[in-house]
Structures are given as C-alpha cells and as structure tokens.
C-alpha cells in the first residue's frame, strides 16, 4: 500500500496496516531485510517497498530501521500474552531466605513463551544483552525441546546462565531491547526462558583445552574472574586465581541474598572450575606491588577486583556504634542465616537482642534506595527488624529496579525518596536518631537540591546501614592507568547499530522505559576496553575497569579479555620465546595517495616475511582492530606550508588523542611529505606514548619517494620490536 503521510496518520484498524510513503522510499531494502515475518517485499517496477498486511504482526521493526522514515505502521501490536510467574514472599519472613522469584516450571509454559519470539533477522535483543547471547538461537533450540543444544548456544557467550537469568536487569538489557518492547508491548520473557533451560538441564562444565603453554593470573573470583577463568581454561591456559575473601564468587557469594540467588546456584561455577583444574587461592589479597610480582610470575594478569570499597557519607555521627556498611551487614547476615540460632546471635552482637525490645522491632535505617539497599532492607526484615530506606533522588529517577522496589514494599520495607541524612545522633556512643532533610529534583541528569531552610525530621533508629554503592580500591586503581573507563559512546553510531532499530525507541512501559540503545552502546565501550591491556600484559575487567556495573557485564568482559590474551599469547620476561608471525595493523591517513602507497608497500614487505597484516584507513580503526594487533604502523601526510606551522592533519591528531590504552604495543610512525615535516613525527610520538604505546621506529618519506624507503622502514619497525623483547628478557635475567 502506497499513501501519503497524512493518510497514514488518519488510518485506524483492528489489524496492523503498513503504509509506504512512496515519495520517501529509496528502495534500499533495509525494511525487507529486517522484517521478521517476511511481510515486506520490493515492487521491482517502481522499486519501492510493498507490504503483505496479512503477514504483518505490527512489530514496527520496519519503521525503526528505515533511514528515510518512509514507512508508517498503524493498528495493534500482535505480541500475544506474556508468560508470568509468581513472586512468593514467605510468611513469616523471619529467618526464611527461600528464593522468592519462581521460574517457569512446565514445558507447556516454556513452549508458549518461546513461540512469542519473532526470531528477528537482526535481533536487537542480542545487541541489548551485554554478553551478546544468541537469544533467538537458544530459544529456537528450546522450542524444539533440545536443551543440550540450547546450552551449547548459550555457552558460546555465557558461563552464568543460571545466575544471570536470576540477577540480570533484563528490562534494561535483552528484554528492553526485544522488538516487542521497542514497539511498546510486553517483551519475550527471555530471562525466564534462560532460567528454564539452566534449571531443567545442568549447566555443562568447562572442557579443558590442550596445553597452550600460557600462564595467567586472575585477581578476584567474582563474575569477571569466573568469565576469564572459564574461557582461558577451555583454551588450555594454566589459570591461577587469587581471592582476598575466604571463599570465591565475590558479589555473587556475599552480596546477593539467597532469596534472590540461592547459594547452590552461586557456587556452581567455582565447583566446576576447580574440577577443571583452575588453581584457586583464597585469603590472598593482591595490592599494587603484588601485581608486579604476578606479572613476573605469569604471562598475563587479569585484574577483576570489582568495586569492593563501600561508599560512606561523611556526616556527623558516621563513626557511632551501630553505623555500618552494606558489605559488612550482608556478609554477617548471610552467616547468621546459615547457622541454627544465628539470627538471635546476630541481633545480640549488634545490640538488637529481642529481649531488649520486647514487642517492638528494632528499626534499621538504610541510606540509599538502589538494588543493594533493597537487598539490605529485605534482609533486615528477615532478621526481625523494621526497615526504612531513604534516598535523595526523586522516585521517578530511582536507581532501583521497579520490580525489586515493589517486592521490598510488599515485604514491609518503607522506602522514602527525596530525603537525605543531615546527621546521625547517638546516646552513650551508640546510634539513636537520624536527622533527615527534604530534597527536590526536577531532572534525572541533575543532582537534587537539599532544602536546607526546612527543619530536619528526627527519626529514631537502632541501626544505620550505608548502602549507597561501592567504588574501586584507590590503591589498586592507581596501578591501573586509564581506569575507570566511562561507558559512553561518542560520535555518530555506525550503520550496523543505527540500522538495527535499537536506537530508535526506548523500552516499553513494561520494561520501565529504559534508554536501551544508549545503554547498549555504552556497554560496548567497556567490552572493547577489556580486550586492550592497560599496561603490557595487564588486563582489567568488570568494576575495576568501568566502575560499578552488572554481573553479566563483568562476565562478558572477562571472556573478552581471555580471548585477547589467547590471541596475543604474551610472554613474561625470561620465558622461552614462542613468537612466530606477528599480527600487524597498518593504518594511514592519505590525501593524495602517497601515504597509502607507502603503507601498502610496507605491508607487502611484512606479509612477505610471514606476518599477518591488515591495512586500513585510520577512520576504520577502533578498539576492536587495535586489540587484534601485536604491532602497529601509523602513517599520515603532513599538513601546512613552508612558512606556516606544519604537522599531522587535525583528523589524525584527534584520532591519536582518542586512542585507548595501548599497553606497551610497539608502534612505528611515518609521514609522507612535500614540505619539511619538522616536528610532525615527534608530536605524534608524544601523543601515542601517553597512551602507553612504545614507539620503536619513525620515518619521514618524501612524497613519490622510492619503494625501498618504505621497505626499510618496515624492517626497522620489526627490529625495534625485537629489541624491546630482548631488553625485557635481559632485564628479567
């Protein structure tokens, strides 16, 4: 159907109608390629899109992907009814940490929900998943009743399907990115289907690969460390994990209560990893100096320490007895629930013994209303306490998942937004009262204003828990240059992302209107950074890399760092060399073609010597390409005149300044010139060395110069890289 925009907007029906605006349609076929139900085709005479409305389900994928806004879909979205499961709160709550969220329990439910998946040709759910799970792939296997195949699909990208399906905020990730959600309807219950697969068929253990003669240390046994250890083990590396706590799993072990993540599920990965040969050393804390020792003992080191330092408010009374942090509270509470009589003992140790309060319940004030605060408050209710959370944000801009917020309220937690704590007062050295001030917030991107003029509200409290989040250990962070990396994507997204349609709409109300496209693009920055060392042979993942993040992000970054290590095969100094061919990236900026010819001549010489060479313009080079290189050659032309300032062109300068950490990568720099290049190469070298690279050779080559100059430059670059390696070996000896 081909009509005008006005006619399309006026149309209404009980079935979807597809209106192609022929004056806008360019015949690019983006809509045809991405329609999940094959309802679109091309009119080859007029070369415009045409629709078969009998097939259309109203998902609006064509609307979102059309670069010319040439399609309007009206009418309903035929998404079908989403499968729902119960949240069962124990009654009474005291000491009961039974899992409250129930999964799909029958094949009938699972198959009905799997049938809702459109199996989109360019699945936005995959882009929205931080691990890029092949969601249509595992759902398709489930629909065929093939659970081993479903696990096989999941195992390509995830080692924590049983855990992630329980703790992921799917509404901001895969489900929020589902075509149904982007169209304003209920998404496929991806988390429930993933959990059904993991609960119905045990997650297969890692299969140790052939000996790769590579030793890797991992610092931290949380989800990032699990992802890295799993992938490295399957690749045949020898893996040693150092964990400061007495038991592994990190946040999964102590930070997420059993009523959300049962202990046997949280411990599953480490049982399997140790059986596969991973050496786990608990009770070993690695500081900045310890990293240097590990780099001397291993070929590569992965830092996965997480954000383990609790944020504490610097307010009067913060040092009173009875003021604690979320980490301490959750760890001691977990121990209390695991022992008979442990709850009473816990209360006694914390000055909250039942006999001292009679019929009244002690009152815990939780500072914060994010997901950690909800865990603290709900745990407090299971310890027999009354719990109130306060947060200075407006509830409209809350950091908590709305479903967790609702669950907490159903369990009797009072949550008060637009409140902040001015001071804590005590009696006899112990907390007794908190003074609250009101705040006002108009926009999500701006911090609230504290209304100091209003008198503070006094609230009687018996325990205060600061649960406002975590930060990385400053001492360790200082040894990790370039961290934390901001998860923000800059510039215009490439066509691969914009054409998917993920950036066109936020998630639906069902998924709490999350800006899923923006969030997904930001996570890509972290994934790319995980594949690049911050220093030579030193990789950083998870919260230590990007600041407080999620379980699935950390796991995915761990796998990405492991893949980069196995591709680079780094060597600790003094280790017998096993280096064969190098992976060389030759990139250039060329205006008249001279620089490109030089770059390709150098690349041909390197290829002739048996190295794997990729040649690209610099505007095609990003973190992914840099992560796959052992050696980098960068070439540019020289901009300027004899009587004016000369140097690299602005686009090259900007590209150099935007480079990520290069972790000791050997680099050769060259320029082709028609006028004296003066300080061009020195300026380029200064910028790229600030990013951690090692410049091993430079060359200024006259435009139209001989082929032999380019060949000589490539040889000098190789010689410089070998010289660095020899110096490192000598230093180690």
Helix or strand run (H / E) with residue 268: helix 263-275
pLDDT over 90 percentage in the chain: 83
For the chain, counts of helices (H) and of strands (E): 29, 25
Sign of the C-alpha dihedral computed for residues 265, 266, 268 and 271 taken in this order? negative
Domain-located, residue 474:
no
Same-domain check for residues 169 and 103: yes
- 731 has a pLDDT exceeding 60: no
Same-domain check for residues 539 and 593: no
SS3 content of the chain, % helix, strand, coil (to 5): 40, 20, 45
C-alpha separations of 514 from 200, 405, 406, 443 in Å: 31, 16, 17, 15
- 261 has a pLDDT exceeding 80: yes
Domain-located, residue 388:
yes
- Torsion on CA atoms 225, 227, 230, 235, rounded to nearest 10: -110
- 706 has a pLDDT exceeding 90: no
Same-domain check for residues 542 and 590: no
- 733 has a pLDDT exceeding 60: no
Per-residue pLDDT reduced to its tens digit, 185-211: 999 999 999 999 999 999 999 999 999
Same-domain check for residues 334 and 458: yes
List the domain range (segments joined by +) for residue 55.
5-74
Same-domain check for residues 457 and 497: no
DSSP SS3 for 585: strand
Q: Where does the pLDDT of residue 8 fall: very low under 50, low under 70, confident under 90, or very high at 90 and above?
A: very low
Q: Where does the pLDDT of residue 728 fall: very low under 50, low under 70, confident under 90, or very high at 90 and above?
A: low
Domain-located, residue 577:
no
Q: Considering only CA atoms, which of 305, 239, 303 is closest in space to residue 539?
A: 303
Which pLDDT score, from 0 to 100, does residue 9 have? 46
Same-domain check for residues 544 and 670: no
CB 529 within 8 A of CB 560: no
Domain-located, residue 81:
no
Q: Which of 547, 572, 597 is the last residue of a domain?
A: 572
CATH number of the structural domain spanning residue 419: 3.50.50.60
Per-residue pLDDT reduced to its tens digit, 299-337: 999 999 988 788 888 999 999 999 999 999 999 999 999
Q: Where does the pLDDT of residue 729 fall: very low under 50, low under 70, confident under 90, or very high at 90 and above?
A: low
Q: What angle do CA 536, 490, 639 make, to 5 degrees?
A: 80
Mean pLDDT over each residue of the chain, to the nearest integer:
92
Which pLDDT score, from 0 to 100, does residue 674 have? 83
Secondary structure of 377-443 in HEC code, one letter for each residue: HHHHHHCCCEEEEEECCCHHHCCCCHHHHHHHHHCCCEEEECEEEEEEEEECCEEEEEEEEEEECCC
Contacts of residue 290, Cβ cutoff 8 Å, sequence gap at least 6: none
Which pLDDT score, from 0 to 100, does residue 707 have? 82
- 6 has a pLDDT exceeding 50: no
d(CA 348, CA 346): 5
Same-domain check for residues 346 and 409: yes
The region of weakest confidence among 110-119, 214-223, 622-631 is: 622-631
Q: Where does the pLDDT of residue 470 fall: very low under 50, low under 70, confident under 90, or very high at 90 and above?
A: confident
DSSP SS3 for 668: strand
d(CA 131, CA 557): 8
d(CA 709, CA 695): 18
CATH number of the structural domain spanning residue 57: 3.30.70.20
- 732 has a pLDDT exceeding 70: no
Contacts of residue 374, Cβ cutoff 8 Å, sequence gap at least 6: 389, 400, 404, 405, 407, 408, 413
Spell 389-421 as b/e; 16+ CB within 10 A means b.
bbbbbbeeebebbeebbebbeebebebbbbbbb
Q: Which of 443, 469, 495 is the last residue of a domain?
A: 469
Domain-located, residue 591:
yes
Beta strands 419-427 and 430-440 are antiparallel
C-alpha separations of 270 from 256, 275, 276, 555 in Å: 16, 8, 10, 13
- 75 has a pLDDT exceeding 70: yes
- 439 has a pLDDT exceeding 80: yes
Q: Which of 17, 49, 74 is the last residue of a domain?
A: 74
d(CA 375, CA 467): 9
- 351 has a pLDDT exceeding 60: yes
CB 635 within 8 A of CB 654: no
CB 571 within 8 A of CB 579: yes
C-alpha separations of 161 from 202, 240, 277, 527, 673 in Å: 10, 24, 21, 19, 55
- Bridge partners (DSSP) of residue 431 are 426
Which pLDDT score, from 0 to 100, does residue 12 have? 52
Domain-located, residue 139:
yes
Which pLDDT score, from 0 to 100, does residue 727 have? 63
Ordered alpha helix ranges (H), 473-512:
474-477, 495-498
CB 483 within 8 A of CB 307: no
Same-domain check for residues 68 and 93: no
Q: Considering only CA atoms, which of 83, 28, 80, 78 is closest in space to residue 53?
A: 78
Same-domain check for residues 521 and 411: no
d(CA 299, CA 732): 13
Domain-located, residue 82:
no
d(CA 138, CA 140): 5
d(CA 343, CA 330): 13
Q: Considering only CA atoms, which of 630, 637, 634 is closest in space to residue 615?
A: 634
Contacts of residue 45, Cβ cutoff 8 Å, sequence gap at least 6: none
Q: State mean pLDDT over 14-38.
A: 94
- 1 has a pLDDT exceeding 60: no
Q: Where does the pLDDT of residue 473 fall: very low under 50, low under 70, confident under 90, or very high at 90 and above?
A: confident
Which pLDDT score, from 0 to 100, does residue 659 have? 92
d(CA 333, CA 337): 6
Same-domain check for residues 186 and 96: yes
Number of domains, the chain? 5
Which pLDDT score, from 0 to 100, does residue 573 have? 81
Output the pTM of the full model: 0.93
Which pLDDT score, from 0 to 100, does residue 557 have? 98
d(CA 100, CA 298): 43
- Cis peptide upstream of residue 694 (ω within 30 degrees of 0): no
Q: Considering only CA atoms, which of 397, 244, 372 is closest in space to residue 311?
A: 372
How many Å is the maximal CA-CA distance in the chain?
Answer: 94
- 484 has a pLDDT exceeding 60: yes
CATH number of the structural domain spanning residue 160: 1.10.1060.10
Beta strands 631-637 and 583-588 are parallel
Q: State mean pLDDT over 144-153.
A: 98
Same-domain check for residues 568 and 597: no
Same-domain check for residues 599 and 711: yes
Q: State mean pLDDT over 651-668.
A: 94
Write the DSSP symbol of residue 30.
H
Domain-located, residue 295:
yes
């Amino acid at each position: 159907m081909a009509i005008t925009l006005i006619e399309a907007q006026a149309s209404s029906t009980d079935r979807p109608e597809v209106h192609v605006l022929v004056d806008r349609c360019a015949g690019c076929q983006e809509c045809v390629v991405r329609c999940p139900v094959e309802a679109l085709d091309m009119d080859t005479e007029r070369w415009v899109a045409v629709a078969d409305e009998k097939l259309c389900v109203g998902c609006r994928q064509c609307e979102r992907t059309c670069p010319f806004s040439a399609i309007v879909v009206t009418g309903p979205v035929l998404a079908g009814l989403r499968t729902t499961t119960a949240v069962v709160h124990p009654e009474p709550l005291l000491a009961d940490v039974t899992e409250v969220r129930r999964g799909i329990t029958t094949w009938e439910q699972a198959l009905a929900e799997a049938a809702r998946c459109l199996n989109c040709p360019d699945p936005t759910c995959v882009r929205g998943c931080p691990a890029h799970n092949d969601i249509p792939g595992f759902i398709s296997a489930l629909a065929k009743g093939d659970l081993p195949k479903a696990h096989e699909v999941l195992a390509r990208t995830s080692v924590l399907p049983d855990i992630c399906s329980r703790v992921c905020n799917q509404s901001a990730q895969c489900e929020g990115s589902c075509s149904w959600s982007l169209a304003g309807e209920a998404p496929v219950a991806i988390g429930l289907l993933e959990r059904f697969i993991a609960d119905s068929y045990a997650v297969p253990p890692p299969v140790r690969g052939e000996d790769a003669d590579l030793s890797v240390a991992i610092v931290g046994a949380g989800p990032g460390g699990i992802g890295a250890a799993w992938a490295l083990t399957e690749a045949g590396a020898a893996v040693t994990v150092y964990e400061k706590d007495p038991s592994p799993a990190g946040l999964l072990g102590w930070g997420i209560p059993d009523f959300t993540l049962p202990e046997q599920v949280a411990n599953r990965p480490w049982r399997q990893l140790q059986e596969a040969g991973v050496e786990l050393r608990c009770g070993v804390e690695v500081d900045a100096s310890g990293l240097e020792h590990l780099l001397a003992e291993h070929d590569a080191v992965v830092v996965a320490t997480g954000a383990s330092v609790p944020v504490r408010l610097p307010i009067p009374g913060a040092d009173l007895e009875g003021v604690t942090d979320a980490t301490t509270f959750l760890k001691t509470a977990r121990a209390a629930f695991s022992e008979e009589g442990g709850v009473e003992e816990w209360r006694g140790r914390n000055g909250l013994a039942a006999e001292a309060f009679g019929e009244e319940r002690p009152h815990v004030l939780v500072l914060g209303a994010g997901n950690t605060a909800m865990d603290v408050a709900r745990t407090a209710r299971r310890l027999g306490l009354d719990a109130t959370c306060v947060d200075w944000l407006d509830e409209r801009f809350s950091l908590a998942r709305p479903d967790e917020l609702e669950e907490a309220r159903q369990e009797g937690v009072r949550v008060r937004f637009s409140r902040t704590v001015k001071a804590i007062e005590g009696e006899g050295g112990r907390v007794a009262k908190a003074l609250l001030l009101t705040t006002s917030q108009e926009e999500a991107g701006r911090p609230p204003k504290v209304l100091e003029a209003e008198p503070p509200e006094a609230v009687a409290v018996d325990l205060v828990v600061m649960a406002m989040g975590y930060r990385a250990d400053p001492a360790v962070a200082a040894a990790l240059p370039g961290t934390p990396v901001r998860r923000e994507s800059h510039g215009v997204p490439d066509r691969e992302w914009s054409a998917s349609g993920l950036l066109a709409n936020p998630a639906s109300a069902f998924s709490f209107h999350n800006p899923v496209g923006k969030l997904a693009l930001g996570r890509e920055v972290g994934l790319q950074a995980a594949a690049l060392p911050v220093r030579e042979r030193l990789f950083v993942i998870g919260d230590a890399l990007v600041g407080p993040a999620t379980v699935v992000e950390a796991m995915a970054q761990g796998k990405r760092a492991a893949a980069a290590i196995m591709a680079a095969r780094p060597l600790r100094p003094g280790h017998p060399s096993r280096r064969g061919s190098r992976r060389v990236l030759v990139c250039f900026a060329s205006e008249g073609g001279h620089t490109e010819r030089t770059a390709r001549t150098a690349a041909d010489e390197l290829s002739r010597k048996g190295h794997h060479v990729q040649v690209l313009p610099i505007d095609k080079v990003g973190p992914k390409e840099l992560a796959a290189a052992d050696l980098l050659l960068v070439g540019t032309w020289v901009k300027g005149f004899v009587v004016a300032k000369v140097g690299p062109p602005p686009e090259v300068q900007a590209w150099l300044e935007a480079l990520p950490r290069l972790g000791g990568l050997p680099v050769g720099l060259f320029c082709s010139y028609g006028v004296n290049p003066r300080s061009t190469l020195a300026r380029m070298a200064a910028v790229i060395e600030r990013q951690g690279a090692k410049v091993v050779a430079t060359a200024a080559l006259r435009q139209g110069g001989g082929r032999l100059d380019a060949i000589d430059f490539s040889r000098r670059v190789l010689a410089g890289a070998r010289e660095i390696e020899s110096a490192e070996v000598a230093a180690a000896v």
